[in-house]
Structure 1
Amino acid sequence: MNTAQSTQTSQSDVMDPARANAFRVALGQPGNIAEGAALPPFFHQLYFWTPEPPAQLGRDGHPKVGGLIPDMGLPRRMWAAGRLAFHAPLRAGTPATRSTVCERHARKEGRSGPLGFVTLRHEVHQSGVQCLTEWQDLVYREDPSRDAIKPEAPVARIDETHSEEVSFSSTLLFRYSALTFNGHRIHYDLDYARDIEGYGGLVVHGPLLAQLLMLMAEKHLGPLETFQFRANAPLMHFETATLCLKDRDLWVRGPDGRQCMAASV
């Protein structure tokens, strides 16, 4: 079944530069974004929080499904992919609004069991101008069984022309969760990540990996017009990864050579 959802939400935010600077400092960069300055790409993730009372949260710390995102009876949520079109710079300290609609949702049978697919479309406006369009692809699945065979991750390319090694402490994951108001417990609750969702450690946020790839792309290629990414395999907080770039392709290579994320601009 493949259906569309008409529910739409809208949020406003003042785009406080202090939040952007806190994130830059967490990444080891200078916190020198002034009011009115253009925000780096994807920094809108730090804004437009959707706080919910405890009674409206699911077991994983995310808001319960059943509103904007339909309840398909599958408990595990993953951000699988994303696409962005950058129309104009977002400015720190200038009020902005974000409207969100569920473009489509579907429940299908996969090799590992039932899967739920959801695509959200976000549009961000500031000073009467549409600055950004973002599509967010989410996947929902069942809890893992102990005897389930884990899918093999693709092998990452080794022909990059630019690369950067990155590591992720539990402190950085906690700070990113706090700055994006992401309550998903796989990023800060080791017992939950390991015992309930079957991961080997705390999971590095997919959007955080995408963020680092975007900053790398902007550094070497200049301002971004579009960016798309897809998660291929989870990266654990104790693993060192390599950010890679060649031409307009980017990817994240895990310490064992697996591809954790692929992207293009």
Structure 2
Amino acid sequence: MTEQPDTPTEERQSDVMDPARAAAFEVALGRQATISAGSPLPPFFHQLYFWAPQPPECLGRDGHPRVGAAGGLIPDLGLPRRMWAGGRLQFDAPLCAGIRAEKHSVLERAEHKEGRSGPLAFVTLRHEVWQEGRHCLTEWQDLVYREDPDLAAQQPVAPKARVDETEAREAAFSSTLLFRYSALTFNGHRIHYDLDYARDVEGYEGLVVHGPLLAQKLMLLAEEVIGPLKRFSFRASSPLMHFETATFCRAGNDLWVRGPDGRQCMSATAEGA
């Protein structure tokens, strides 16, 4: 059933695409800092911008802005656990560092469903980013909200990842990298830096690697091999913990993240420009 939210259904933000922030992210990823004013930004680097800080009293228990709050796009659907389930992107023109950009966000969907593990809520946000009057990209962001876990219950079995890749690269994610990514994206979600909260409240084995960070590394791999991207879609299927080493795989235009036990953490499809 689709909800009729009392919260706004759209918002607009503006931000100068600070080259220092993008260069810091390059360094955090273990790359050479190359971005300066006027440089085209790599795909998905817009995640570093358009911060919307809220005072402490407007935050939920998980560190995110409280859903249903005045001025927020996401209604309160009565479920406490937030997950970034996936997304789709269409790139029409590169964003350039050091130039102001505008972001227009719309709430496309907010609905309840009943899953095998209990009630779920699905939210889809659409973001359009413009720079100097030129449309640069559209992003659809899919979020899922769930009940608190039964810590004594058996965890669902994650799907197995493909093993037919033609290219594979391993990557580790330290708690320092997770902290730096949270800081650069102004993401206060405690599952990424508060181990006690992640384990004792949300039932994870460790700190959770950001879904967008996995998607970012897949996008950079796709761009390196395929060239400039026109479209990219990704879907999270199992969380990756900070103490695990993941394998980033590609076969043609298909990409995926495989955990150390062979499970699929994320799948994606890329299309070149």
Q: TM-score, normalised by structure 1?
A: 0.98
Match 1:159 to one of 160, 164, 173: 164
SS in 1 for 2:256: strand
Residues in 1 aligned to 2:4 and 2:18: alpha-carbon distance in whole angstroms? 34
The 5 A counterparts of 1:164-203 are 164-203=169-208
**1:121 to 2:123 alignment:** no
Matched letter for residue 171 of structure 1? T
Matched letter for residue 2 of structure 2? N
Matched letter for residue 249 of structure 1? D
Aligned to 2:61: 59
Matched letter for residue 174 of structure 1? F
Q: How far 1:41 sits from its partner (Å)? A: 0.2
Matched letter for residue 246 of structure 1? A
The 5 A counterparts of 1:233-252 are 233-252=238-257
Residues in 2 aligned to 1:146 and 1:92: alpha-carbon distance in whole angstroms? 45
The structure-2 alpha-carbon separation of the partners of 1:156 and 1:17, relative to structure 1 and needing over 3 Å to count, comes to same
Aligned to 2:2: 2
The 5 A counterparts of 1:68-147 are 68-147=73-152
> Per-residue CA shift, 1:3-40, capped at 9, x if unaligned?
46562111110000000000000111111112111000
SS in 1 for 2:229: coil
Match 2:219 to one of 214, 219, 222: 214
Matched letter for residue 2 of structure 1? T
Residues in 2 aligned to 1:249 and 1:108: alpha-carbon distance in whole angstroms? 29
SS in 1 for 2:89: strand
SS in 2 for 1:225: strand
Residues 107, 124 of structure 2: 8 Å contact kept: yes
Residues 155, 259 of structure 1: 8 Å contact kept: yes
Matched letter for residue 156 of structure 2? P
Q: How far 1:152 sits from its partner (Å)? A: 1.0
Residues 4, 102 of structure 1: 8 Å contact kept: no
Aligned to 2:18: 16
Q: How far 1:148 sits from its partner (Å)? A: 2.5
Q: How far 1:2 sits from its partner (Å)? A: 1.6
Which runs of no fewer than 5 residues in structure 2 stay unpaired? none
Residues in 2 aligned to 1:148 and 1:78: alpha-carbon distance in whole angstroms? 20
Matched letter for residue 72 of structure 1? L
Aligned to 1:29: 31
Residues in 1 aligned to 2:163 and 2:10: alpha-carbon distance in whole angstroms? 43
Q: TM-score, normalised by structure 2?
A: 0.96
**C-alpha RMSD over aligned residues:** 0.9
The structure-2 alpha-carbon separation of the partners of 1:125 and 1:4, relative to structure 1 and needing over 3 Å to count, comes to farther
SS in 2 for 1:48: coil
Residues in 1 aligned to 2:73 and 2:225: alpha-carbon distance in whole angstroms? 37
SS in 1 for 2:43: coil
Residues in 2 aligned to 1:146 and 1:63: alpha-carbon distance in whole angstroms? 25
Q: How far 1:50 sits from its partner (Å)? A: 0.7
Matched letter for residue 22 of structure 1? A
Residues in 2 aligned to 1:231 and 1:110: alpha-carbon distance in whole angstroms? 16
**1:42 to 2:47 alignment:** no
Q: How far 1:149 sits from its partner (Å)? A: 2.7
Residues 3, 112 of structure 2: 8 Å contact kept: no
Residues 22, 31 of structure 1: 8 Å contact kept: yes
Residues in 1 aligned to 2:151 and 2:32: alpha-carbon distance in whole angstroms? 45
Residues in 1 aligned to 2:4 and 2:224: alpha-carbon distance in whole angstroms? 38
Residues in 1 aligned to 2:182 and 2:30: alpha-carbon distance in whole angstroms? 17
Residues 4, 104 of structure 1: 8 Å contact kept: no
